Structure 1
Amino acid sequence: MKIIEQIVARELDAVIVYESPDVIAFADHEPINVGHLLIAPTRPYQTFIELPDYINEEIQRVAKDLYERIENLYSPDGITFMQNNGAFNDLGHYHLHIFPRFEEDGFSWVSTNLGVQSIETLKKSLVGI
């Protein structure tokens, strides 16, 4: 049984900040910053594409509510949302990260060596999407 399923089944302790029959939100056990939360469906969907629309809509409503709560509690410089799929989803269960950001927190976006792309290069790379 995967981590999120264990939390839903109460086989693994977690600080739960929201729960319904379809969605659960809880504190990340290895946070980027204080206030780092995960929002996930209670059933084991693996990717964004697999999520039924009604569950995705609830996740977005919960994210909006948690955004306001994080902002009021921590007064961050910003808030980051992050969601990984495929090989980058280390929990094997869809989840959306939401966490406060602070100017000096050290968290960063690291790009590849592609550099800044011209509009023409971007258009060519996106043909077919």
Structure 2
Amino acid sequence: MITDRQLVIDNLEDKLKAFTHAVGGELTSEADFVISNDGITVFQEGGLFKDVEHYHMHIVPRFKGDDFQWVEPDIDRSAIDFASLEEKLRDALTGREGAGC
């Protein structure tokens, strides 16, 4: 976690920028396995388009026919078990560290 909240990716030190994208890449690989999605969309918004006042990366699992568009979804988030998903992704990433990945 980046605790010193930087505004945009351009302001991140090169080492932190590389680390952030390496972790993002690992998360996309693990999401493919944990969620069984058909693909991933990864992006960040900056300048006029940033939605909060710090840098963060969006990693969106994609499914064939999902008609993905970036709008805030009108869904019942209480039906999503985010804690379980986070635990599965953490376990998957921890397992990869031991494998030298």
Normalising by the residue count of structure 2, what TM-score does the alignment of the two structures yield?
0.63
Cα offset, 1:56, TM superposition: 0.6
Name the structure where strand makes up a greater proportion of residues. 1
SS for the counterpart of 2:42 is strand
**Letter of the aligned partner of 1:86 in structure 2?**
G
State the Cα deviation string for residues 64-117 of structure 1 (Å, max 9, x = none): 2111110101121110001100121111101111111011222137xxxxxxxx
Matched with 1:67 is 28
Unmatched segments (≥5 aa) in structure 2 = 71-101
Q: Is 1:43 paired with 2:4?
A: yes
Q: Is 1:104 paired with 2:65?
A: yes
Matched with 1:91 is 52
Name the structure where helix makes up a greater proportion of residues. 2
Aligned length: 70
Q: Is 1:57 paired with 2:57?
A: no
State the Cα deviation string for residues 37-72 of structure 1 (Å, max 9, x = none): xxxx32121111101011111101111211111010
Identity %: 36
Larger of the two Rg values belongs to structure: 1
The alignment yields a C-alpha RMSD, in angstroms, of 1.5
